[in-house]
Structures are given as structure tokens and as C-alpha cells.
Amino acid sequence: MIASVLAHLLRFTVLILIQVLVLDHLDVANGQMVPYLYVLFLLMLPFDLPAWALLLIGAATGLTMDAFASTPGMHMGACTVMMFLRIFLVDLIAPREGYEFGMKPTLASMGMAWYLTYAGALIMGHHAWLFLIEMYRFDNFLSTMGRILLSTVFTLVLCLLAEFLTARPKRGRA
């Protein structure tokens, strides 16, 4: 239990630092593609966390990003919405036999199709909330929707890359 909490805290710290020190300074496609890799921390939270803990962790993660990005409440709102959507999405896309106790929502344990659905939907929800709040108007709606889609794809590719790079190989039976 303590090892799991420490692993999550380390993942949180590393992803926030990568976001703040590297990704926030990228200018890809003239600002149309904005990667938010820190959401990978939220995507990797275990299935057996209660809803109140997910919402609290989402709010705290967003608040941390807001402190570094000087965006009062924007990331906090987006991360909280993302965790709210996760509560329903996990039940909606559950395998027929359900989730085993201790199972984690990773690419290695759930498979590519499930992970793309799960991560893609949650990242798109996060980005939609964040960018629509950032614009605070609908006069450039199509441009904002394009930015949401491009940023979602970019973030999803980075999450998949991180999953492939950090996945532990499965041990075969002897």
C-alpha cells in the first residue's frame, strides 16, 4: 500500500515537472497543439478508488498545475470534470467480467482498444473544458474545436509513448 502511494506521488511529481519545465514551453503548430501530459497521472489512478477520492485528487492535481501556470481555477476545473467523467466512463466501458481487484487502467493490463477509448474520451473532456473556459466565448468555436482535437491527439500520443516506455515486460511461465 505504501509502495503504491509512493509510486503515485513519484509519478505525479515527475509528470508535473515535465509539464512545467518542458511541455509548457513548446509551441507546436502555432499554439494549436498543446500537450498536457500531466493528465496521465489521473488516467493511471486505480479502479478501486472511491469517487470522492478521485474528485479530490483531480482537484488537487489541477490546483497544482494552476499554481505553476498562473491559470486560477482553469486546470482545477478541467481535472475535476475529467475525474467526474471517469466515474461514469469506467462503468460504461467495463469488460463483461468486470474489473479485478487491484487492476490498473494501463495499456498493458487493459489492451489498446480499451485504453484508446478510455484515455481518448477523458483527455478530450479535459481539453474541451479547459479550452472552452480559456476562450470564454463562442465566436471562434470551430478554431477552438480544432485546437481541442489536435491537442487531444497530441496528448494521447504522448500518453501512449509514456505507457510503452514505462511498461514492464510480462514474465513468462517457467
What b/e sequence results for 31-54 when a residue is b if at least 16 CB atoms lie within 10 Å of its CB, and e otherwise?
Answer: eebbbbbbbbbbbbbebeeeeeeb
Count Cα neighbours of 52 within 13 Å in the Cβ-side half-sphere: 0
Q: Report the C-alpha gap between 99 and 65 in whole angstroms.
A: 31
What pLDDT does residue 156 have?
Answer: 96
What pLDDT does residue 151 have?
Answer: 93
What pLDDT does residue 137 have?
Answer: 72
What pLDDT does residue 17 have?
Answer: 94
- Write out the chain's pLDDT in tens, 174 residues: 788 889 889 999 999 999 999 998 887 777 778 899 999 999 999 988 999 999 999 999 999 999 998 889 999 999 999 999 999 999 898 877 777 777 788 888 888 999 999 999 999 999 999 999 888 777 788 888 999 999 999 999 999 999 999 877 665 544
What pLDDT does residue 171 have?
Answer: 58
What pLDDT does residue 170 have?
Answer: 64
Find, among 56, 60, 54, the residue nearest to 75 by Cα: 60
Secondary structure of residue 111 in the 3-state scheme: coil
- Domain boundaries of the chain, sorted by first residue: 2-166
